[in-house]
């Protein structure tokens, strides 16, 4: 079936590119993917499917049922649809038409790719048994994550997938190559917000003040020992602070300081313990220095675990489809991804589709104003995902 799938992926390549460019030019932010969802549903209806709209408000789900004799399994395929609040700097014909909003993480490519995967599988439905569940998901970029909301709306039920596959563009991997990693792959993501309160005043009279700038500085430095001295050595973890607002002037100490940061790890037990220690240290140190720390944690995504056996199978199937020279190993990545919610419930594999092309200057990372992809990847992605799904349908 490989040849048939490759032929169809090639046949649909122009449509895949056109779809991606349409989505790229009309991006929508997390939880607001109304036009995108309608577009996706219309495309699915055009190939004879009956999509379910409004899942988690803007999500779309559809089923492709194989007609070949046999029980088969249920395999879920996921693409995310939301864009980012970034002003695009690329000068291309499909540049974003929405000021300050851009598909800077490749979700346009994911959605376009899965739509063409659907076309391939619908065309070949007489060649397999089982069910393919297409999941077009909103709000990957914003907590609590569209995946968690779709799960609450029953996306992993009726029918329940025996495995979930997700694909993400990779601007650090050359186009034509696919990346895999078994086990721990991406980190949990929690956001930390602290307001350190003291007593401000004239900088020349520190003895009459409770300096929140000094307190906040000590807290940030001291917190690093939580990761370095308390984290299990085999468990990757990062604590970073990217926002520190002390809105005084040269000789005025403010009444309060605001700090914002992120805590990331790959162990749920350490995640809970680390956050407890972070809060306890911040509140205790502020109190010991005469101030107050108001601490808020915004719970993010869990860590992403690629099921080892499933990942080994999908890797082997990719070798059969692409050749061993085009399959690469991935490093641990401390970024977050809400596909992790699926991976905590059902056997899952999240792999990377190479989109880098240095000769064409396509090298920018995700979440940057100049991000783009080599669109030849859009002939590879749909066919590969279709092949992986069909292969998994035949597994016990």
Q: Domain coordinates of the chain in residue numbers?
A: 2-185+302-393, 190-298
140 is catalytic: yes
Biggest CA–CA distance in the chain, Å, is 84
pLDDT (0 to 100) of residue 91 = 96
pLDDT (0 to 100) of residue 328 = 98
pLDDT value at 58 more than 90:
yes
Instruction: Give the least confident one: 47-61, 63-77, 125-139, 239-253.
Output: 63-77
Name the active-site residue from 82, 211, 337, 372.
Answer: 82
Instruction: For CA atoms 168, 173, 175, 177, give the dihedral sign.
Output: negative
Name the active-site residue from 80, 108, 140, 190.
Answer: 140
- What is the mean predicted confidence (pLDDT) over 187-214? 97
Q: Calculate ∠ Cα 199-202-205, nearest 5°.
A: 90
Identify any residues that bridge with 88 across adjacent strands, giving them in sequence order.
none
pLDDT value at 395 more than 90:
no
What's the mean pLDDT when you consider all of the chain? 97
> Please, which residues have CB within 8 angstroms of residue 354's CB and are 6 or more apart in sequence?
170, 173, 174, 175, 176, 177, 178, 179, 328, 377
Q: Which CATH number fits domain 190-298: 3.40.50.300, 2.40.30.10, 3.90.580.10, 3.30.70.360?
A: 3.30.70.360
Question: Which of the four pLDDT bands, split at 50, 70 and 90, describes residue 72?
Answer: confident
- What is the mean predicted confidence (pLDDT) over 42-64? 98
Q: What is the DSSP string of 263-294?
A: EEES-HHHHHHHHHHHHHHHHHHHHHTT-EEE
Residue 54 CB neighbours (<10 A): 12
Are 265 and 189 in contact, with CB atoms under 8 Å apart? Answer: no
Same fold flag, 2-185+302-393 and 190-298: no
End-to-end CA distance of the chain: 19
Question: Which of the four pLDDT bands, split at 50, 70 and 90, describes residue 234?
Answer: confident
Residue 396 CB neighbours (<10 A): 5
Question: Which of the four pLDDT bands, split at 50, 70 and 90, describes residue 256?
Answer: very high
pLDDT (0 to 100) of residue 396 = 62
Instruction: Give the least confident one: 112-121, 191-200, 222-231, 309-318.
Output: 222-231
> Please, which residues have CB within 8 angstroms of residue 115's CB and are 6 or more apart in sequence?
16, 19, 40, 43, 44
Q: Which CATH number fits domain 2-185+302-393: 1.20.1600.10, 3.40.630.10, 3.30.565.10, 2.60.410.10?
A: 3.40.630.10
157 is catalytic: no
Nearest to 282 by CA among 218, 211, 190, 189: 218
- What is the mean predicted confidence (pLDDT) over 261-289? 96
């Amino acid at each position: 079936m490989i040849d048939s799938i490759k032929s169809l992926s090639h046949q649909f390549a122009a449509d895949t590119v056109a779809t991606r460019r349409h989505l790229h030019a009309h991006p929508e932010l997390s939880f607001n993917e109304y036009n995108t969802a309608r577009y996706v549903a219309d495309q699915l209806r055009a190939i004879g499917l009956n999509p379910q709209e409004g899942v988690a408000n803007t999500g779309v789900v559809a089923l492709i049922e194989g007609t070949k004799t046999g029980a088969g399994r249920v395999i879920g395929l996921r693409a995310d649809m939301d864009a980012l609040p970034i002003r695009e700097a690329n000068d291309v014909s499909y540049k974003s038409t929405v000021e300050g909003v851009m598909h800077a993480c490749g979700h346009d490519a994911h959605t376009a790719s899965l739509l063409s995967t659907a076309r391939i599988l619908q065309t070949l439905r007489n060649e397999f048994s089982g069910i393919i569940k297409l999941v077009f998901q909103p709000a990957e970029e914003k907590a609590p994550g569209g995946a968690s909301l779709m799960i609450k709306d029953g996306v992993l039920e009726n029918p329940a997938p025996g495995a979930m596959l997700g694909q993400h563009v990779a601007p650090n991997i050359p186009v034509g190559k696919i990346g895999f990693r078994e086990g721990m792959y991406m980190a949990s993501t929690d956001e930390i917000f602290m307001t350190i309160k003291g007593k401000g005043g004239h900088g020349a009279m520190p003895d009459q003040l409770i300096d929140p700038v000094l307190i906040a500085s000590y807290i940030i430095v001291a917190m690093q020992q939580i990761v370095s001295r308390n984290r299990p050595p085999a468990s990757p973890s990062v604590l970073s602070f990217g926002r520190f607002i002390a809105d005084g002037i040269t000789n005025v100490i403010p009444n309060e300081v605001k700090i914002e940061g992120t805590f990331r790890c790959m162990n749920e037990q350490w995640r809970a313990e680390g956050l407890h220690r972070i809060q306890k240290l911040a509140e205790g140190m502020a109190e010991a220095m005469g101030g107050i720390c108001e601490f808020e944690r915004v719970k993010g995504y869990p860590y992403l675990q690629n099921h080892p056996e499933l990942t080994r199978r999908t890797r082997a199937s990719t070798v059969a489809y692409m050749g061993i020279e085009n399959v690469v190993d991935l490093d641990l990545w401390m970024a977050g991804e809400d596909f992790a919610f699926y991976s905590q419930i059902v056997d899952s594999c999240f792999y990377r589709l190479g989109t880098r092309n240095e000769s064409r200057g396509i090298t920018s990372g995700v979440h940057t104003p100049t991000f783009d992809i080599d669109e030849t990847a859009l002939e590879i992605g749909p066919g590969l995902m279709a092949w992986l799904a069909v292969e998994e349908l035949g597994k016990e």
